Amino acid sequence: MSGRGRGRGWWNWAGTESAVAAAVVKPRDVNEICKAVTGAAETGQTVRARGSGHSFTGAAAAHGVALDLSGWTGIVAADTTTGLVTVRSGTTIRALNAELDRLGLAMTNLGDIDAQTISGAIATGTHGTGAAYGGIATQVEALELVLADGSVVTCSATERPDLFAAARVSLGALGIVSTVTLRTEPSFVLSAEERPEPLDDVLDGLEEHITGNDHFEFYWFPYGAKALTKRNNRLPAGAEPKPLGAVRRFYEYQVMENAALGALCRLGRRVPGTVRPMGRLMSSLLSPRSYRDTSHRVFVTSRGVRFVESEYAIPRGSLGAVLAELRATVPGLADPIMLPVEVRVAAADDIWLSTGYERDSAYIAIHQYVGMPFRTYFDLFESIAGAVGGRPHWGKMHTLDAAVLRERYPRFADFAAVRATLDPEGRFENPYTAKVLGSAR
């Protein structure tokens, strides 16, 4: 699941964003990143890291100088005693998980996609689920950045703390991240319990499900009466993995969740009248599964069906009311919805532009299959989430601009002040950051 580039042209995974760069640079070390930044300044161009292109927004679009960091990857240093690991910014989460595995280490929490670069994932506020766990950016111990003047700086909770509070979720607007130092932990095994349950029962026991499991989430097909719940819980050190068998895993994930779902989606796109009955059918056909495996193999799921997505973080206490309104209104939309609603949770954090800043959050993500109408659905969802102060995921589709977002983030002005100091000419700006953060150019 990644974006694609051919020379100067680039487009993201969902096909919702594209850009043609003035030039593409593939740095192999920090000095070459610095030269790319100062070279862009000399010609009056912007400069951005392309990343993996998994964002549904234009966060990674580079219209000036595009930095292709695919040659700047791998772990720089690792201390298995403290768990501190420094990794180059172009490293994908998939590659990072594999390298950590070899070291006997693991990320504390992850989302369900591993195609993103580590720097892109933290820059857009990527997260997993778990009431006691924050997003991936909360696992960052330090960052090294190349600033607009070509200088290299390091920031952490004790070194340039304001920059650290701003840079962990920055949309790439403060500089080019060159390395990320992460707090990891010894490898661990998760017990995974996935099963269909009546949606009403899930909602009635929502707080118990959230607080009674390390990682809880569920999926709801809008026309069905059941939800697919996922409970992932940590097992004691030394627990042995017991993964799904190869045949069962292939059937569940590749046949059912990708091939069969993809075929149904294509049918629904051609014949919209089949979507509602198919939604009810898919809800009724969900099957239980139970296994345990190394953490990242449980957190991460293969996604082969392409879609567009919007996601909002809302105060956790508002989750029931927001879901009730969605349940009441979505089935009445003129255009049918092919794909499910996903619900997750995360702990509050102190990162200025994190969707979880200073509040325990629930995340509601809505999806539509590519090529099917989605605008009315997404606008409705945005209105419902906005009524409770919802904050859009920086990498997923929304229509908000800086004027609105300033009101939803208590430290928005502080972030803007850091940005104005470090990048007064908007060297790292693109159309998306200009819209959501305000333009410096």
pTM: 0.95
| Cα–Cα distance measured from residue 399 to residue 12, given in angstroms and rounded to the nearest whole number | 18
| Cα–Cα distance measured from residue 339 to residue 257, given in angstroms and rounded to the nearest whole number | 11
Which of left, alpha, beta for 175 (phi over 0: left; psi -120 to 50: alpha)? left
Instruction: Domains for the chain: give ranges and CATH numbers.
Output: 4-67 (3.30.43.10), 73-186 (3.30.465.10), 189-392 (3.40.462.10)
* Total residues belonging to the chain: 441
Q: In Å, how far are 172, 264, 382 from 406, measured between CA atoms?
A: 18, 41, 17
Q: How many CA atoms lie within 13 A of 210 on its CB side?
A: 22
Residue 1: the pLDDT is 40
| 298 phi, psi to nearest 5 deg | -90, -45
Tokens found for residue 412: 């928005």
Which of left, alpha, beta for 187 (phi over 0: left; psi -120 to 50: alpha)? beta
Q: In Å, how far are 67, 154, 307, 355 from 396, measured between CA atoms?
A: 22, 29, 11, 12
**8-26 b/e with 16+ CB inside 10 Å = b?**
eebbbbbeebebebebbbe
Q: Which residues contact 430 (CB under 8 A, 6 or more apart)?
A: 19, 46, 48, 58, 59, 61, 62, 63
Query: How many degrees, rounded to 5, is the angle at CA 433 between CA 178 and CA 21?
Result: 70
> Which has the closest alpha carbon to 314: 387, 389, 216?
389
Query: How many degrees, rounded to 5, is the angle at CA 209 between CA 206 and CA 212?
Result: 140
* Displacement of CA 355 from its chain's centroid (Å): 11
Is residue 177 exposed (0-12), middle (13-18) or buried (19+ Cβ within 10 Å)? Answer: buried
Residue 5: the pLDDT is 57
What pLDDT tens digit does each residue of the chain (441 aa) get?
A: 445 556 899 999 899 999 999 999 999 999 999 999 999 999 999 999 997 888 999 999 999 999 999 999 999 999 999 999 999 999 999 999 999 999 999 999 999 999 999 999 999 999 999 999 999 999 999 999 999 999 999 999 999 999 999 999 999 999 999 999 999 999 999 999 999 999 999 999 999 999 999 999 999 988 888 999 999 999 999 999 998 877 676 656 666 677 778 888 888 899 999 898 887 777 766 778 999 999 999 999 877 789 999 999 999 999 999 999 999 999 899 999 999 999 999 999 999 999 999 999 999 999 999 999 999 999 999 999 999 999 999 999 999 999 999 999 999 999 999 999 999 999 999 999 999 999 986
Residue 262: the pLDDT is 84
Q: Which H or E element spans position 293?
A: strand 289-294
β-strands 84-88, 176-183 pairing: antiparallel
Residue 282: the pLDDT is 73
